[in-house]
Amino acid sequence: MVDMDGRVLRPAGDVAGGQVGPATEFRFRQAGDMVWGRYSGGAIRLGFVVGTCDGTTLRLRYSQLDTAGETASGHTTDRVEELADGRVRLHETWQWDSRGGSGSSVLEEQPVARPDRPG
């Protein structure tokens, strides 16, 4: 069972039909089954997610403001994959609520930079 608290993820590439891309950073928090977070970068000035996670599936609603000053919202269901090194990859199936369109994307947890240890 994966806990999303404190994890930082980025899209693996540009998202066709969406507005997020590799410069967009998602920061998650989790308490029990409740998950929330914020994201920004690239075409997104600020976005928020809120929903639930059962350890294998995230169900989220999102709302965002883009760099053109437009707002948008939608929902996503994400399959949570735990990688061999402990990082998380999310396989998203999303749909806009505020406009037409849907798609899929992949978010991947960023490796933690660790300073070299002497000795």
Question: What percentage of the chain reaches a pLDDT higher than 70?
Answer: 93
Please say if the pLDDT value at position 34 is more than 50.
yes
Instruction: Round to whole Å and give the CA distance between 72 and 62.
Output: 8
Reported as a pLDDT band with limits 50, 70 and 90, residue 13 is confident
CA–CA gap between residue 60 and residue 9 (Å, rounded) = 15
Q: What is the pTM of this model?
A: 0.90
Domains and CATH numbers, the chain: 8-14+21-109 (2.40.128.30)
The fraction of the chain above a pLDDT of 90, given in percent, is: 82
* SS3 state of residue 35: strand
**Structure-model confidence comparison of residues 16 and 63, the more confident one:** 63
Look at residue 118 and tell me whether its pLDDT is greater than 60: no
- The dihedral region occupied by 43, where left means phi > 0, alpha psi between -120 and 50, and beta the remainder, is alpha
For residues 115 and 14, give the distance between their C-alpha atoms in angstroms, rounded to a whole number. 30
Tell me the residue length of the chain. 119
